[in-house]
Amino acid sequence: MALPFIVIAVDGGAASGKSSTSRALAARFNLLHVDTGAHYRTVALSLLKRGIDSPEAFEAAENDLLAHLELGTQIDGHEAAMSISGEVPASEAIRNDAVNAVVSRFAAIPAVRKFLFDYQRSQAKVAEENGFAGLIMDGRDIGSVIFPDADLRIFLTADVAARERRRAAEGIGDSIASRDKLDASRKTAPLACPEGATLIDSTFLNLEQVVDKISDMIREKLGQKA
Ligand code: DC
C-alpha cells in the first residue's frame, strides 16, 4: 500500500539548523525540501538589483515591483529552488553580507509576504506531481501561516552562542541576534513557536540527533495516517 502524502513544517530562528535538518529528512523519507528563507533572499536580491535597498524605497517606488516577477520551481534531487524569470540565483549571490543586511527588513513588508504565500502553498502540489512522498518546508511562519494544517509542525531553537558558532564554522558572518529580533517583532507573520508545534532545543544536540528525533515523529505520523 502506498504511504500517505505528508506535509512537514520546520520553523526556527537564524542558524537554528532548519535547513540542514530538513535536507537530511528529505533524503531519508523521499520528501521535497523547500527552503523559504531562500525565497525571501531571492526576492531581496532581485530588489537590490533594481536599486531598491530599503522598505522605504520599496514603498516609494511608483510601479508594483513584484507584479512582473515570474516565479517557478527547479528541482534538483530532493531540493526545490525558486526561480525568477526562469533563473535560480547562485547560493553565494543570496547568502552574503549585502543580502543578510536587508532580507529581514524586506521580509517584514506585508506585500512581499502576500506575494510569496500562494507560491509557497503551491509547493505541496509540485511535490506530489513530481512523485515525492511529501513536502518538508522550512522557514519562520510555515507552521503558523503557510501550512497551519501540516501533518507535523516543528520549531527548532538553540541558544545564540551555539548558533553563532555554527555560522562561524561555515565561514559565514551573520547578525543572528539582530535578525531574530527583527523577525520576531514584525507585525506580519512574526517568528514564534505556534501553538501545537513541537519545540526542539538543539543547543546540546548534534544534527543526527535532531534528525533521528524528528524521524521517529514522522514514522509515527505515517503509521497513524496509513
Ligand atoms: O532562513 P534564512 O536565514 O535564510 O532566512 C532569511 C530571512 O528571510 C530571515 O531573516 C527572515 C526571512 N524569512 C521569513 O520572514 N519567513 C520565512 N518563512 C523564511 C524566511
Expressed in angstroms and rounded, the spacing between residue 166 Cα and the centre of ligand 1 is: 17
Expressed in angstroms and rounded, the spacing between residue 225 Cα and the centre of ligand 1 is: 31
pLDDT by residue (tens digit) across 116-170?
999 999 999 999 999 999 999 999 999 999 999 999 999 999 998 888 888 888 8
Give the per-residue pLDDT at 95. 93
Mean pLDDT of 197-218: 96
Per-residue pLDDT for 1 more than 60? no
Residue predicted with more confidence, 187 or 116: 116
Integer Cα distance of 126 and 104 in angstroms: 27
User: Quick one: 6-225 is in which CATH superfamily?
Assistant: P-loop containing nucleotide triphosphate hydrolases (3.40.50.300)
Measured between alpha carbons, how far is residue 63 from residues 59, 106, 115 in Å?
10, 17, 15
- The dihedral over CA atoms of 23, 25, 30, 32, expressed in degrees to the nearest 10, equals -40
Closest ligand 1 atom to residue 146 Cα is 18
Task: Give the three-state DSSP class for 130.
Answer: coil
Pocket of ligand 1 (CB under 6 A): 14, 36-37, 40-41, 103-104, 107, 139-142, 179, 183
* Strands in 47-181 per DSSP E: 71-76, 79-84, 134-139, 152-157
Per-residue pLDDT for 19 more than 70? yes
Give the per-residue pLDDT at 170. 82
Mean pLDDT of 32-47: 97
Expressed in angstroms and rounded, the spacing between residue 107 Cα and the centre of ligand 1 is: 7
Mean pLDDT of the chain: 93
Mean pLDDT of 94-106: 93
Helices within the chain (DSSP H only): 18-29, 36-49, 55-60, 91-94, 97-107, 110-129, 160-169, 176-185, 207-225
Per-residue pLDDT for 179 more than 90? no
Give the per-residue pLDDT at 15. 86
Expressed in angstroms and rounded, the spacing between residue 86 Cα and the centre of ligand 1 is: 22
Tell the residue nearest (CA) to atom 11 of ligand 1.
104
pTM, full prediction: 0.94
Q: How confident is the model at residue 197 (pLDDT cuts 50, 70, 90)?
A: very high
Q: How confident is the model at residue 3 (pLDDT cuts 50, 70, 90)?
A: low
